[in-house]
């Protein structure tokens, strides 16, 4: 049962490694996608068969064939690892591109918000100045008393100030509404950002250790690559060792049973040859 479990595990790991590697290589040469799929798939199968062949017939093949097959398996392991690396990197780049686009949009909206905030601040200062000017003009009306011309001039100035004050206030209200819309846009973008779960996890790790996001992802992919295909080849060897051990054990059991069956006959022949009674 363990040998069967080992075989299924080896087949699963090797199949997954082959699948991701073949897709990664085919994507790299997308101009001949299906042809590359067939070529890479046959090489993956050949690698596993060559590994089993080397274990079973290591002492029965000439040295140059042994050397070539070992080099071929190692080179194919490297190719498989590069294919897996390319496949995982491609998947990361897709989400990284989305994340980068969202962050650029957020950054642009934040700049627009800063411009709006500065304009609102300037308008508020202008409103304070206009309010102070209106107070001064109202004092001029009181000081004019019964003098018609100074009073009319003061009223005209107040009217002009009120018009400008209303315009600035109205513009400020529009700017605040625009600022509110920008806040909503940032919230929507942040929701989209949170949907990129895998990048978000790596981003948290990168911020925790103080390294760039791409460095953390590349390091993680390299760890997977270093384990994936070598584990598949190692499990194929382990299966061959386990199955070979099971075969040898069965042969020993059959041999022992054969000896038990043949031993009485041999004793009888030996007894007849030496003139000993059958009993």
pLDDT at 279 over 60: no
Domain that holds residue 76: 2-273
Domain count of the chain?
A: 1
Inform me whether the pLDDT recorded for 77 exceeds 70. Answer: yes
* 176 is a domain residue: yes
Burial of 129 (0-12, 13-18, 19+ CB in 10 A): middle
> What is the predicted pLDDT for the residue at 200?
62
Domain membership of residue 73 (yes or no) is yes
Task: Report the alpha-carbon distance of residue 29 to residue 35 in Å, rounded.
Answer: 9
In a domain, 85, yes or no: yes
Residue 173 backbone phi and psi in degrees, to 5: -60, -40
| Per-residue model confidence (pLDDT) at position 71 | 92
Sign of CA dihedral 52, 53, 56, 58: negative
Q: Cα separation of 54 and 223, whole Å?
A: 27
Task: Show the tokens assigned to 131.
Answer: 């309010």
In a domain, 279, yes or no: no
pLDDT-wise least confident of 51-60, 115-124, 244-253: 244-253
Please report whether residue 278 resides in a domain: no
The tens digit of pLDDT for each residue in 150-164 reads 667 777 777 888 888
| Within-domain flag for 45 | yes
Asked whether residue 133 is domain-assigned, the answer is yes
Q: Side-chain half-sphere of 239: how many Cα atoms within 13 Å?
A: 23
Q: Which of 51, 44, 50 is nearest to 235 (CA)?
A: 51
pTM of the entire predicted model? 0.56
Tell me whether residue 239 is exposed, middle or buried, using C-beta atoms within 10 angstroms of its C-beta: 0 to 12, 13 to 18, 19 or more: buried
Arithmetic mean of pLDDT, 19-40: 79
């Amino acid at each position: 049962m363990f040998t069967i479990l080992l075989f299924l595990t080896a087949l699963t790991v090797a199949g997954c490694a082959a699948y991701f590697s073949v897709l990664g290589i085919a994507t790299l040469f997308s101009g001949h996608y299906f042809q590359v799929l067939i070529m890479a798939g046959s090489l993956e199968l050949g690698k596993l068969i060559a590994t089993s062949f080397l274990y079973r017939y290591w002492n029965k093949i000439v040295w140059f064939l042994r050397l070539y097959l070992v080099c071929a398996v190692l080179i194919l392991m490297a190719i498989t690892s590069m294919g897996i690396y390319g496949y995982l990197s491609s998947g990361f780049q897709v989400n990284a591109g989305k994340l980068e686009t969202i962050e650029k949009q957020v950054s642009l909206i934040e700049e627009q918000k800063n411009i709006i905030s500065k304009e609102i601040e300037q308008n508020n200062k202008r409103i304070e100045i206009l309010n102070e000017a209106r107070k001064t003009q109202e004092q001029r009306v009181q000081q004019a008393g019964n003098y018609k011309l100074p009073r009319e001039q003061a009223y005209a100035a107040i009217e002009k100030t009120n018009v400008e004050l209303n315009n600035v206030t109205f513009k400020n209200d529009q700017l605040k509404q625009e600022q509110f819309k920008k806040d909503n846009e940032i919230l929507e973008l942040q929701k989209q950002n949170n949907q990129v779960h895998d990048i978000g996890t790596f981003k948290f790790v990168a911020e925790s250790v103080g390294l760039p996001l791409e460095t953390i992802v590349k390091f993680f992919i390299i760890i997977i690559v270093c384990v994936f295909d070598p584990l598949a080849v190692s499990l194929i060897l382990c299966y061959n060792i386990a199955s070979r051990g099971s075969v040898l054990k069965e042969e020993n059991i059959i041999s022992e049973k054969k000896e038990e069956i043949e031993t009485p006959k041999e004793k009888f022949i030996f007894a007849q040859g030496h003139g000993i009674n059958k009993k």
